[in-house]
Each structure stands twice: as C-alpha cells, then as structure tokens.
Amino acid sequence: SNLPIQIKVVILGDSGVGKSSIILRFVYDDFKGETDSTIGAAYKGKVYQHNNCNIQFNIWDTAGQEKFKSLAKMYYRDATAAILVYDITNSQTYDGLKEWYRELKEFGPEDIILCIAGNKEDLVDSESVQLDTVEEFAESIGAYYKRTSAKTNYGIDMIFKEIANKVCAD
C-alpha cells in the first residue's frame, strides 16, 4: 500500500551536543546558532521517501539535562531506532554517550537500530575524541557511525537513510 511505514526514532545524548539542531536541520533544513535547551522532550514528524519505501519518521527529541534523564525511558522503550549523539569537540559527551548506550542495552528494545552521530563536524579542527576509538566502539555494538554537522548539514541525511535502509530491507 502507499501508507507510510511508521518508524519511531529517539535521539539521545548530553545537553548541548546538538540533538535538537540535528532534528531542526533534518525536518526543516534550518539551523540556529542559539537554541533553547529542550525541556522534557519534543516530537517532530517527517515523511521520507527511500527508494520505493514510504516512511514516516516519528522523532522524539529528548532533553539532555541531567534532571530530565529519567524521562528518556518513555521515549526509547518502544523505539525502532536510536540516534546517540556526542559533540566531537567535547570528550565528556562521548563518555555520556557510552552511558546512554549502557542504559539502552539494559532497558531498551533488544532489536533497536543504533546510530552514533559525532556532531559539530564543522569544528573538526578541535576534535577531541579519537576517530578510531569511536569507530571501534560503534563496530563492537553494531551501530552505524557518522560524523554530522547540523550547522552545515554534513552527514545528517546519511543517518536517516541508514535507518530507512534497515527498516525497508525487512
């Protein structure tokens, strides 16, 4: 049929890594240098055509601030895919990503599609997490890894294309 396949995507990561910015870029092709930190969570929908496969991405943009951490479970527990984001210029946020992964492993769906976005690729001169390290980790957990920039639009479509690929192959 022509009815879109419904895909729930949750985006997780520390505050300030650019989760909302990635979604703003993907859904509205826009970027803001100053953003409001997300409160609770925010929903955005986008219809997406992938080859002959019609998809509706239902995206839950979670809040990275510590005080909202316990809410994330509501959004990832029945998600098809998770995008784990860190800021390539801030190694603390990579540690944060690993924590999110451990939590997902423990409480998330077993077959969840995992993607890692190393965001702020436009600031690659200040990259502070070794690329090899992330690539190795991504491979070890079966995650797709891509550097992204919400600012320049680098890599963002690749992440969603990867999710679409996995879902449409079924």
Map the footprint of ligand GTP across residues 65-84, applying CB under 6 A. Answer: 65
Supply angle C-alpha 168, 139, 90, rounded to 5.
105
Q: Which is nearer to ligand GTP, 38 or 80 (CB)?
A: 38
Give the contact letters, 148-167, x = binds to ligand GTP (CB under 6 A), - = no: -xxx----------------
At a CB cut-off of 8 Å and minimum separation 6, what does 55 contact?
Answer: 4, 5, 7, 47, 48, 49, 164, 167, 168
Reduce the DSSP state of residue 128 to 3 states and report it.
coil
Q: Which is nearer to ligand GTP, 32 or 102 (CB)?
A: 32
Distance CA 35, CA 68 (A): 17
Q: Which is nearer to ligand GTP, 114 or 167 (CB)?
A: 114
Out of 41, 123, 141, 158, name the contact with ligand GTP by CB under 6 A. 123
> Which spans of this chain sit near ligand GTP (rule: CB under 6 A)?
13, 15-21, 32-35, 37-38, 63-65, 119-120, 122-123, 149-151
